[in-house]
Each structure stands twice: as structure tokens, then as C-alpha cells.
Amino acid sequence: MLDKLIGILSPGSYEEKIKEFIISETKEYISSYYEDSFGNLVLNIDGEGNRKIIECGIDEPFLMANHFENNKQFFTAPPHFKAKDFKDKELVSENGMVVKVISDTENEKLSFSDLYAKTETATDFGKLFSYNPRFTENKRSYSAENIIYKVPVYALISAIRQLKNCNKNITFLFSCQKLLAARGLRAYFSIERDASVLSVSCVRENEYIECGKGVVICAKEKSAFVSQRIKEKLINIAECENIDYIPAVLSENYNLKAILTSGAGAECGLLCVPFDGKNKIYKSDIKKLIKMVISYCKQ
């Protein structure tokens, strides 16, 4: 299923296909689903107890075609992305055209207006280009350009499929435009009250976080402190069920602030799976992530 998911491109605001895929993979395991007016996909399992929300983003980075001249396709992009992350990358458009992004400018000074792709075919203004995934798999790991945006979705779908007889109130929130300052989350939580949220994401390997060593249970990210209650619950689950984990303080922004401070406020935890510099994620870590989510839902 992960290879299919990776092949479904979902640049921010163009998430329809991935939502269709999520629904098709989960509808027989859930009580109900709907799309809110922002476009977030909300799946509910009905049961007992206070409703828990499990959340992950469904979008991925993109460039937007904006000008074509002399066989050069130029791009624009929102300020949330970095131009250097696209240089020398292969991108694929909404209609399947593959291009390689190049630039004559050095990385330090690079802006989106410096990026272009050589092509004879002009793309309509406004069409979106995402990373060409180039999925690979070996015995121990998966790898793809966009894998870090798909594994959380894969983990939640897998968890839902194993929760058929779970008698708890759970909502799975697949949020749109999460990479764009968490707009989908801000919309959803603008009217949600007293929520308890577990956010699922990926984290880059560093000197404290190593791939293949289990899930990462976060105490803090750049912009927010996570809920101590949820963090302790996650640690308790990991220890009771012998799931390897790494407690961590993260220096990057995972948009938890959008959940914690929107609407009437909410408590939020963060559970991650590590990836390395080559966008590789260990299968063993993904299995542990799924097991953690399932156990958290059942508690």
C-alpha cells in the first residue's frame, strides 16, 4: 500500500486523490467520514470514552508553474518552502509531465524566481509540480523523495484497518495544507473544543535520533511544548509493550502551535518516525509507529 500512496501526488490544495485513496482503504473499518469545509478528511470510529484525535498532514511540497519563455518553465511557490530544496530535483506535474529543476544561481542566494526547467512544452499557469517520488524498497527500508509526507498517512491507514473492533471514540484527521503553516489544522481546530490530539509525523535523523531504533516520542518541538500527559501515556505504552522509543526535544517546527492555540485550545502530543538524509525510513520503525498508534487508540 505504501508504494501506491507514494505514487499519489498531493501538493497543498490538490489533495483530492489522496483523500479518495484513504477513504477507499478505510471505509469498511470506520463508522463515518466527512470532509470539512476546508477540505480536511475526518474519519470517525464510534465507541466509548472521550474522543481522541489522531492527526497527520496529507500534503507535500510543490512548485507552481507561472511563466514560460524560450523553452524555460519558471515557477513560483509559497514562502513556506525553500528554493534550494527543489534545485536539481526531478518534479512531476499534475498531468504527469516530468521535468528537472535547474538554476544558474548559487544555493545561498537562490530564490524561486531563479529556478526553471528546460522543456518544449509550456504548462498552464497555476499547475502544480511535486517531487518525482522514485520509490525503492529493500529488505530493511523504503525510500522515496516524498516518503516523509506519506509514511504518517500510511501508518494511520494501517492502524485504522487493525482497529475494527476497537470500542473507543476516535477521530482520524487527515489535514490539508499542513506544510503551509498548518492551514487545515487551524481551520479544523478553530471550532473544535477540548480536543486531545496525537500528531504523527517524520523526523530527520541527528546525533540523538537514529533510524532503526524505534519511534520518537517528543517532549517539545520548536514552537510548542507537547502535552506532558500524552507524552507520559506514550512512554508508558512503549515500555509496557516493549516498543523501542527515543525521547526527544525537536528543533524543527511541527505546527503543533496551530493545534494548541487555535479555537478554545487543545492538548497535543507528537509521535514521529525517523528518516535519514537519503529519505530512507526503516520498515521496523514504521511497524513500531503503527503499533504505538493502535495501542494509544485502544487505551
Nearer to another protein by C-beta: 78 or 212?
78
Residue with cell 514521529: 272
Residue 253 as a binder of another protein (CB under 8 A): the answer is no
Q: Where are the alpha helices (DSSP H) in 13-113?
A: 16-26
Residue 61 as a binder of another protein (CB under 8 A): the answer is no
User: Least Å distance between CB 290 and another protein?
Assistant: 29
Residue 113 as a binder of another protein (CB under 8 A): the answer is yes
Nearer to another protein by C-beta: 40 or 295?
40
| CA geometry: angle 49, 53, 55, nearest 5 deg | 160
Nearer to another protein by C-beta: 65 or 248?
65
Nearer to another protein by C-beta: 29 or 74?
74
Q: What is the DSSP secondary-structure string of 194-259?
A: SEEEEEEEEEE--SS--TTS-EEEEEEETTEEPPHHHHHHHHHHHHHTT--EEEEE-SS--SHHHH
The helix (run of H) or strand (run of E) holding residue 118 is strand 116-118
Residue 288 as a binder of another protein (CB under 8 A): the answer is no
Q: How would you label 41-71 residue by residue, b for 16+ Cβ within 10 Å and e otherwise?
A: bbbbbebeeebbbbbbbbbbbbbbbbebeee
The span of 33-41, 149-157, 208-216, 225-233 binding another protein (CB under 8 A) equals 33-41
User: Least Å distance between CB 117 and another protein?
Assistant: 12
Site size with another protein, rule: CB under 8 A: 31
User: Least Å distance between CB 230 and another protein?
Assistant: 24
Residue with cell 487555535: 262
Contact between residue 148 and residue 285 where contact means Cβ atoms under 8 Å apart? no
Nearer to another protein by C-beta: 59 or 221?
59
User: Least Å distance between CB 89 and another protein?
Assistant: 18
Interface positions, 69-108, toward another protein (CB under 8 A): 69, 74-79
Strands 63-69 and 72-76: antiparallel
Nearer to another protein by C-beta: 141 or 171?
171
For residue 293, the cross-strand partners are: none
Which residue type occupies 298? K
For residue 216, the cross-strand partners are: 246, 272
Residue 39 as a binder of another protein (CB under 8 A): the answer is yes
Task: Please tell me the distance from the alpha carbon of residue 116 to that of residue 53, in angstroms, as a whole number.
Answer: 41
Q: Which of 3, 7, 13, 205 binds another protein (CB under 8 A)?
A: 13
Nearer to another protein by C-beta: 69 or 120?
69
Interface positions, 141-200, toward another protein (CB under 8 A): 177, 180, 183-184, 186-188, 190-191
User: Least Å distance between CB 166 and another protein?
Assistant: 26
| Interface ranges with another protein (CB under 8 A) | 12-13, 36-40, 64, 66-67, 69, 74-79, 112-113, 116, 125-126, 177, 180, 183-184, 186-188, 190-191
